[in-house]
């Protein structure tokens, strides 16, 4: 799809503003932190269950926290994936605008 230069010029600031905030990275980072915290709570629960003579209440709480964090990480990952899909579409549109305006062609920007 070829854009006219006028339409491309009008669309450029809008696309740049939408792509200025990358929400997918925030969601992916939250998912990663939640998985690290989940592994820490899982290891703590395993240690409490291994060393305990009676039923470890803190171990059970730790297992529940780890499970909750895994679910939270999965939700954040799915949200990040959805945002990433949208951002890739916007980036493809931005590349089309750049091609229409010849912004990526250094030879076109040189004085004649």
Tens digit of each residue's pLDDT, the chain (112 residues): 567 777 888 888 888 888 888 899 999 999 999 999 999 999 999 999 999 999 999 999 999 999 999 999 999 999 999 999 999 999 998 888 888 887 777 776 677 7
Q: What are phi and psi of 47, to 5 degrees?
A: -65, -40
18: CB partners within 8 A, 6+ apart: 90
Domain range summary for the chain, segments of one domain joined by +:
5-106
């Amino acid at each position: 799809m070829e854009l006219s230069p006028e339409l491309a010029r009008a669309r450029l600031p809008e696309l740049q503003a939408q792509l200025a905030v990358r929400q997918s990275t925030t969601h992916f980072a939250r998912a990663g932190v939640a998985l690290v915290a989940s592994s820490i709570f899982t290891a703590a629960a395993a240690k409490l269950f291994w060393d305990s003579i009676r039923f470890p209440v803190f171990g059970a709480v730790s297992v529940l926290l780890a499970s909750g964090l895994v679910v939270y990480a999965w939700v954040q990952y799915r949200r990040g994936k959805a945002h990433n899909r949208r951002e890739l579409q916007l980036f493809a549109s931005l590349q089309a605008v750049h091609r229409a305006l010849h912004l990526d062609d250094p030879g076109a920007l040189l004085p004649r």
